[in-house]
């Protein structure tokens, strides 16, 4: 508010000693109850406030009075004095805001920062369990009250107050320092605060206690909003080197851009802070869960053992496959006798080989290959000696004669006569003429039949085919076996007809 009421007395018994913080929901003062001489904290709304502000002040005081948590700013009494000043008596003693403590001392000790963070998380857990949200959690809305054994008691204030965008309705009208705690999903101004946006704001507060500054800041409101949406928070190791390695991941998780990636409750945040920095009462709260986990684990082990035993028994007692029925012979298969230790590859290649013939009388010009096909490259003919079982050459039997082409053949008559060859009797009166290439097949149709073998020779001098007139040949005569020269007698003599 615009007025500083320090030194005045409210409701004739609360003397205002000093202003702690000022805000749209009211001004917070250190005060003293003069009747009992006890320090108290007073939340005051000046008399010149309009009716809407008065109604909002009364509503927030009622909500705070229903909290009843040691880490919340609880309202003990509420009233309006004779001058029209509305006030609410709170349970904090000699408080200061967390933002003031950070401004005075800078970075807080790790142990104190973690302890305050756990208290903030505990207050949020109670608040969310009652179905309410804070909506405007900042370092200025957290009070540090009464230092006991170097550990301050945190009081979360401003519950139910409007956030900067809800209060102004315009991004440019909000102060950049107020937007530093806003969750990314609220930067557009369309979403409403919820429990997960409070977790993000708590993460910003814990980061500020450890680093001495907020993770996102800027000169203009839009700069801060864009950093919340787009930029990751700077590493805490850039601000200090005495942090436990397990603490920073907890804070970065709370600062996740996606609400689903953050801690889903204040209790979860409190438990992770405790686990990252020593034991705490939260570990004692989780002890019954550990017992339940033990029995659940034991039950799972028993079930798994029984299932494994049943599987082994079934595998042992189940009938085995009969090879006689499982392996049926191939009806179209052929037996194979390996010529070497069976490898399977060479036998398959030999089965696909073409039939080689090494017969000297064959008209195929084939020879044994240098390397037989197969997988092992073995060639049984490479030594020059026929392998065992191979067929050997057997020369033809009988007496052999060598004929000198210059002296003549001993098998031909020396007088140059004609050898008559008997021909078997043919029952056909019209024997078929032998075909002669290049001539008509019927030119020999009038040839006389051969003399039967049992009648003897017909003529002592058979007809000799006349020689053709000497003329140049156009077709070379086929090669003939040379025969001894014959004496055809005196020139001009003709053979007997």
**Does the structure show a pLDDT above 50 at 25?**
yes
Task: For residue 456, give the nearest of 428, 431, 422 by alpha carbon.
Answer: 422
CA gap 477, 466 in Å, rounded: 18
Q: Give the tens place of pLDDT for each residue, 81-118.
A: 888 889 999 888 788 999 999 998 889 999 999 999 99
Alpha-carbon span 229 to 458, nearest angstrom: 133
Please report the domains of the chain, with CATH numbers, ordered by start residue: 9-90 (3.30.200.20), 96-287 (1.10.510.10)
Separation between Cα atoms, residue 212 and residue 222, nearest integer Å: 23
Nearest to 139 by CA among 220, 58, 201: 201
Helical (H) or strand (E) element with 51: helix 51-65
Top pLDDT among 296 and 243 is at 243
Average pLDDT over residues 254-272: 94
456 has a pLDDT exceeding 50: no
| Residues 189-227: tens digit of each pLDDT | 778 899 999 999 999 999 999 999 999 998 888 899 999
Tell me what pLDDT residue 3 has: 67
d(Cα 192, Cα 133) in Å, to the nearest integer?
Answer: 10
Nearest to 217 by CA among 202, 231, 227, 229: 227
Lowest model confidence (mean pLDDT) among 212-226, 296-310, 319-333:
319-333
Instruction: List the alpha helices (DSSP H) in 85-194.
Output: 98-105, 110-129, 164-168, 176-179
């Amino acid at each position: 508010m615009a007025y500083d009421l320090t030194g005045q007395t409210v409701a004739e018994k609360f003397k205002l000693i000093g202003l702690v913080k000022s805000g749209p929901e009211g001004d917070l003062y250190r005060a003293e109850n003069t009747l009992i001489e006890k320090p108290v904290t007073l939340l005051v709304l000046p008399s010149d406030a309009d009716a809407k502000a008065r109604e909002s002040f009364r509503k927030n005081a009622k909500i705070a009075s229903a909290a009843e948590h040691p880490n919340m700013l609880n309202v003990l009494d509420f009233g309006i004095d004779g001058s029209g000043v509305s006030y609410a008596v709170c349970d904090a003693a000699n408080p200061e805001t967390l933002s003031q403590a950070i401004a005075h001392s800078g970075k807080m000790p790790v142990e104190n920062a973690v302890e305050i963070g756990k208290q903030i998380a505990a207050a949020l857990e109670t608040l969310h369990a009652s179905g309410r949200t804070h909506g405007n959690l900042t370092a200025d809305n957290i009070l540090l009250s009464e230092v006991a054994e170097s550990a301050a008691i945190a009081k979360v204030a401003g519950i139910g107050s409007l956030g900067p965008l809800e209060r102004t309705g315009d991004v440019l009208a909000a102060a950049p320092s107020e937007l530093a705690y806003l969750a990314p999903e609220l930067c557009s101004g369309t979403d409403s605060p919820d429990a997960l946006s409070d977790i993000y704001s708590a993460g910003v507060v814990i980061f500020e206690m450890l680093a001495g500054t907020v993770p996102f800041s800027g000169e203009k409101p839009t700069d801060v909003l864009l950093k919340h949406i787009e930029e990751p928070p700077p590493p805490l190791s850039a601000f200090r080197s005495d942090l436990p390695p397990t603490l920073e991941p907890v804070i970065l998780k709370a600062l996740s851009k996606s609400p689903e990636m953050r801690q889903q409750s204040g209790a979860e945040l409190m438990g992770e802070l405790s686990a990252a920095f020593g034991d705490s009462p939260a570990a004692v709260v989780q002890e019954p869960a550990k017992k339940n986990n033990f029995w659940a684990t034991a039950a799972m082990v028993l079930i798994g053992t029984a299932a494994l035993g049943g599987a082994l028994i079934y595998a042992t007692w189940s009938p085995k496959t009969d090879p006689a029925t499982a392996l049926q012979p191939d009806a179209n298969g052929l037996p194979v006798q390996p010529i070497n230790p069976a490898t399977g590859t060479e036998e398959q290649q030999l089965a696909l080989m073409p039939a080689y013939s090494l017969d000297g009388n064959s008209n195929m010009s084939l020879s044994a290959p240098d390397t037989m096909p197969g997988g092992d490259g073995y060639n049984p003919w490479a030594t020059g000696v026929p392998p065992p079982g191979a067929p050997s050459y057997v020369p033809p039997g009988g007496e052999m004669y060598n004929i000198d082409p210059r002296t003549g053949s001993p098998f031909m008559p020396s007088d140059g006569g004609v050898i008559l060859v008997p021909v078997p009797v043919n029952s056909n009166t019209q024997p078929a003429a032998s075909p002669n290439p290049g001539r008509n097949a019927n030119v020999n149709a009038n040839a006389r039949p051969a003399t039967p073998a049992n009648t003897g020779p017909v003529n002592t001098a058979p007809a000799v085919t006349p020689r053709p007139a000497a003329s140049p040949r156009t077709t070379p005569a086929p090669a003939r076996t040379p025969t001894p020269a014959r004496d055809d007698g005196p020139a001009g003599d003709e053979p007997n007809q």
